[in-house]
């Protein structure tokens, strides 16, 4: 690589963009970033009028925002509206507008299956398939505002399914293909979906995930699903699946009416606040939260953040390695990249299938230029060894990104040196399902990157760190990360639970959005996120509520009580440790651990498997009966000395026994 392409390393291990990258970047200086950020806060109407021009507005918006703060009792309010008066159809921005440009024949999705097959769909082909599926949904009686469930793997048709729903104004709810039948059932019942889009099976780590069979098990206990559309993915690799007469239909056998096709080709425009999707995420209670995102504000942020953070060009092949079932896949595989006309890489399977060199061969084979992945994956790559990386030609890469959890400086430096060859800027990003889009990042070409820091606020975002008493924390003091004002892509509510939405996010620190993460801000304004401070764990980039794990365990007939905590883990970020008290006639054993592990698989999904199950006769509790999870976290982490106040602990001997107990994993 020429010298001008190599990032400049400063003495404090911060990284300046190379002159070559900065020369071509969309935002090329810190001064330009600061000016834009200041305008986005002080003159938001002008800023967003300029920066939402890529969106196809049927009716231009007349007012940027309205905000009703949370009520004093924390049960109502926190109501936001953005781009008032504006109407649009999301798919016209993501698809139709590209059909009159050179993007018509450009690759929209480049797909590789775990078993090696590849497909490329142009923008014209994706548009054609979206219209066909949208028309079929119309023939099934689906109308604007109805909910449609999507339970699929990483195939192009999953993106088509989302876009087809958006095209007719149906609100989609994607359920990660790793979730169990019970988890799917609960989500479909909660959102009241009328149609489920699924597939016969999917490949994962060399095995077949029988999605249709799992869907059938879920639908035995649902009342609202009227139709099931099944994509044939497996062919002869999977035993014949059952198709229920009158309910189930194969995707390739859909035959929409001419009238519905015409309606789908000329779709209706919807209000900017029309519900786009519901995405369920773990919370601090046992019930998952149905996060509701609307149309205009979500798309505006997804579009602008994709364009500026990833500096995407027509010549790029962009690869976000997340699953479409998570919010990262929604915003940065489907809606963001397609709204800017990008070519998106999509891979079906695991990064080490059939061996740890799979990701790097994909980059070499397809010429991927932008890679957006998770610290968990990066730490796994490090463990697997540099040889798997260096065997491949990664010279096509020009930008790297990180998402899902804080990235430690050592992993950042390895990513930069070994994967990026020392020439690729790294854009770390922090955001949440509830925020809809990136809130904190290091804009490439504009500002210095600091390994371990997620960077600076994105446009329209005002960040603060608060002490427990609600006062601002000084520089470098850790506290609660909050967002000081509403922003366009924020979740509008929780499905059928607005009171929980207000109390969870807008009442803990009145007037601001409480993220549930801890952080500190250094003297330069860079934010360093330290992780969750509530009862939600971040395991391999997946948010898992401790209450959800505990509820699942206690539902097993052998379990009397359970407590779930996280402990630091070099690979996953956090490892999941559960402490289980069995009922009197049950015995702790390896067989019991296996049975509980399989129970978690069924109730939630294999991704939520505990790393350790530790049996105990009793759990440490306060005199009022509250489990002291802080002490359990110390035990799980191997700390031998109690930290903090234990005066409320009812029985100190319980803690002593736990510490003396040998961990058998």
Q: How many CB atoms are closer than 10 A to CB 266? A: 9
Give the pLDDT confidence of 205-249 residue by residue, as tens digits: 888 999 999 999 999 999 999 999 999 998 766 767 899 999 999
User: How far, CA to CA in Å, does 100 sit from each of 95, 358, 498, 621, 635?
Assistant: 10, 36, 42, 65, 62
DSSP of 542-606: EEEEHHHHHHHHHTSTTEEEEEEEEEEETTTEEEEEEEEEE-TT----HHHHHHHHHHHHHHTBG
Work out the average pLDDT over 386-413: 93
* Burial letters 235-264, b for 16+ CB under 10 A, else e: eeebeebeeeeeebbebeeeebeeebbebb
Closest CA to 424 of 323, 311, 347, 528: 311
**What pLDDT score was predicted for residue 502?**
96
Q: What integer is the mean pLDDT of 618-645?
A: 68
pTM, entire model: 0.85
Closest listed residue to residue 442, CA positions, set 453, 434, 433: 453
The C-alpha R_g of the chain, in whole angstroms, comes to 25
pLDDT of residue 11: 38
pLDDT in the model for residue 236: 67
Quick check: bond before 354 cis, omega within 30? Answer: yes
Residue 315 has pLDDT above 70, yes or no: yes
User: Given a cut of 60, is residue 404 above it in pLDDT?
Assistant: yes
* Nearest CA-CA partner of 51 in 457, 340, 334, 425: 340
* Choice among 10-24, 134-148, 616-630 with the minimum mean pLDDT: 616-630
The answer, yes or no, to whether residue 307 has pLDDT greater than 80, is yes
C-alpha distances in angstroms, 229 versus 150, 194, 199, 226, 442? 10, 11, 8, 10, 42
Q: What is the mean pLDDT of residues 599-624?
A: 83
Asked: is 91-279 a CATH 3.90.1150.10 domain? The reply is: no
What's the CA gap between 71 and 618, in Å, rounded?
A: 41
CA 517, 519, 522 angle in degrees (round to 5)?
A: 160
Name the strand (E) or helix (H) holding 365: helix 358-366
Q: Which two tokens stand for residue 486?
A: 């509403």
The answer, yes or no, to whether residue 69 has pLDDT greater than 80, is yes
The whole-number pLDDT of residue 551 equals 73
pLDDT number for residue 599? 93
Mean pLDDT of 541-552: 75
Task: Choose among 572, 563, 565: nearest CA to 637.
Answer: 565
Is the pLDDT at 498 greater than 90? The verdict is: yes
The domains of the chain are located at 91-279, 538-660
pLDDT at 433: 94
Handedness of CA 653, 659, 660, 661 (dihedral sign): positive
- For residue 500, list its beta bridge partners: none
Encode pLDDT of 52-63 as tens digits. Answer: 999 999 999 999
The residues near 99 (Cβ < 8 Å, ≥ 6 apart) are 123, 124, 127
Task: Give the relative orientation of helices 181-191 and 211-219 as an angle to the nearest 10 degrees.
Answer: 50
pLDDT higher than threshold 80 for residue 140: yes
Q: What 3 state SS string does 492-519 have?
A: CEECCCHHHHHHHHHCCCCCCEEEEEEE
Both tokens of 637, joined, read 């982490």
Strands 493-494 and 171-174: unpaired
Q: For residue 13, is pLDDT > 80?
A: no
The mean pLDDT of 121-148, rounded to a whole number, is 98
Q: How far apart are CA 95 and CA 90, in angstroms?
A: 9
pLDDT at site 552: 85
The pLDDT assigned to 20 comes to 86
Comparing C-alpha atoms, which of 231, 238, 225, 234 is closest to residue 254? 231
What average pLDDT score do residues 617-636 get?
73
* Mean pLDDT score, 457-473: 95
* Contact by Cβ (8 Å): 480, 509: yes
Banded pLDDT at 35 (limits 50, 70, 90): very high
**Hey, what are 110's tokens?**
């480049």
Dump pLDDT digits (tens) for 142-181.
999 999 999 999 999 999 999 999 999 999 999 999 888 9
581 against 287, higher pLDDT: 581
Does residue 334 or residue 553 have the better pLDDT?
334
Top-confidence residue, 2 or 559: 559
- Protein fold of 538-660: GMP Synthetase; Chain A, domain 3 (3.30.300)
d(CA 158, CA 175): 11
Q: Is 150 helix (H, G, I), strand (E, B) or coil?
A: strand
Q: Comparing 195 with 537, which gets the higher pLDDT?
A: 195
Q: How confident is the model at residue 342 (pLDDT cuts 50, 70, 90)?
A: very high
| Token couple for 136 | 């079929």
Is residue 85 predicted with pLDDT exceeding 60? yes
Residue 477, pLDDT above cutoff 90: no
Crossing angle for the helix pair 181-191 and 590-603, to the nearest 10 degrees: 30
DSSP H or E stretch at residue 195: strand 195-199
- The pLDDT, as a whole number, for residue 5 is 43
Query: What are the structure tokens assigned to 358, written together?
Result: 């799979």
Average pLDDT along the chain: 90
Q: Is the pLDDT of residue 494 over 60?
A: yes
Which residues are CB-neighbours of 502 under 8 A, at least 6 positions away?
70, 71, 74, 75, 76, 77, 78
Higher pLDDT, 174 or 286: 174
User: How many angstroms separate the CA atoms of 588 and 102, rounded?
Assistant: 65
């Amino acid at each position: 690589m020429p010298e001008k392409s190599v990032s400049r390393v400063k003495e404090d291990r911060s990284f300046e963009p190379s002159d070559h990258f900065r020369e071509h970047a969309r935002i090329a200086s810190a001064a330009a970033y600061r000016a834009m950020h200041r305008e986005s806060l002080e003159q938001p109407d002008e800023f967003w009028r300029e920066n939402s021009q890529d969106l196809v507005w049927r009716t231009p918006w007349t007012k940027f925002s309205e905000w009703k703060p949370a009520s004093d009792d924390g049960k109502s309010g926190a109501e936001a509206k953005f781009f008032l008066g504006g109407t649009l159809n999301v798919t016209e921005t993501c698809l139709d507008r590209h059909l009159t440009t050179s993007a018509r024949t450009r690759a929209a999705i480049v797909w590789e299956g775990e078993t090696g097959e590849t497909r490329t769909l142009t923008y014209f082909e994706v548009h054609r398939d979206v219209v066909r599926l949208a028309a079929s949904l119309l023939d099934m009686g689906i109308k604007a505002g109805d909910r449609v469930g999507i339970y699929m793997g990483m195939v192009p048709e999953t993106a088509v399914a989302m876009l087809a729903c958006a095209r007719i104004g149906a609100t989609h709810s994607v359920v990660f293909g790793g979730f169990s039948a019970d988890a799917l059932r609960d989500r479909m019942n909660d959102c009241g979906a009328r149609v489920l889009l699924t597939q016969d099976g999917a490949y994962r780590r060399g095995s077949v995930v029988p999605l249709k069979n799992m869907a059938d098990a879920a639908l035995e206990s649902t009342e609202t699903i009227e139709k099931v559309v099944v994509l044939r993915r497996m062919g002869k690799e999977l035993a014949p699946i059952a198709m229920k007469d009158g309910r189930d239909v194969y995707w390739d056998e859909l035959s929409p009416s001419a009238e519905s096709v015409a309606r789908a080709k000329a779709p209706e425009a919807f209000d900017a606040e029309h519900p786009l999707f519901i995405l369920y995420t773990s919370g601090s209670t046992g019930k998952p939260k149905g996060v509701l995102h609307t149309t205009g504000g979500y798309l505006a942020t997804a579009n602008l953040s994709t364009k500026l953070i990833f500096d995407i060009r027509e010549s790029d092949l962009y690869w976000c390695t997340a699953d479409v079932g998570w919010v990262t896949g929604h915003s940065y595989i489907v809606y963001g990249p397609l709204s800017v006309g990008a070519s998106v890489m999509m891979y079906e399977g695991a990064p080490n299938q059939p061996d740890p060199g799979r990701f790097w061969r994909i980059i070499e084979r397809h010429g991927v230029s932008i890679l957006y992945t998770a610290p968990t994956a990066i730490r796994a790559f490090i463990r697997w060894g540099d040889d798997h990386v260096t065997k491949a030609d990664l010279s096509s890469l020009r930008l790297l990104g990180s998402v899902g959890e804080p990235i430690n400086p050592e992993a950042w430096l390895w990513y930069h040196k070994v994967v990026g060859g020392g020439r690729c800027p790294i854009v770390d990003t922090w955001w949440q399902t509830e925020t809809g889009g990136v809130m904190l990042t290091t804009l490439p070409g504009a500002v210095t990157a600091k390994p371990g820091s997620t960077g600076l606020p994105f446009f329209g975002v005002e960040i603060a760190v608060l002490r427990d008493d609600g006062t601002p924390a000084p520089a470098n003091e850790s506290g609660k990360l909050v967002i000081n004002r509403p922003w366009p892509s924020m979740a509008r509510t929780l499905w059928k639970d607005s009171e929980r939405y207000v109390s969870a996010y807008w009442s803990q620190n009145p007037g601001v959005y409480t993220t549930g993460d801890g952080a500190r801000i250094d003297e330069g304004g860079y934010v360093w996120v330290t992780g969750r401070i509530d009862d939600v764990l971040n395991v391999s980039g997946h948010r898992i509520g401790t209450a959800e794990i505990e509820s699942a365990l206690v539902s097993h007939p052998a379990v009397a009580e359970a407590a779930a905590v996280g402990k630091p883990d070099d690979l996953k970020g956090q490892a999941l440790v559960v402490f289980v008290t069995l009922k009197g006639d049950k015995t702790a054993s390896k067989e019991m651990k296996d049975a509980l592990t399989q129970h978690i698989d069924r109730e939630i999904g294999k991704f939520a498997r505990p790393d350790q199950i530790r049996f105990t006769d009793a759990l440490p509790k306060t005199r009022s009966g509250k489990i002291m999870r802080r002490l359990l976290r110390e035990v799980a982490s191997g700390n031998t000395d109690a930290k903090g106040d234990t005066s409320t602990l009812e029985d100190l001997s319980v803690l002593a026994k736990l510490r003396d107990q040998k961990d058998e994993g």
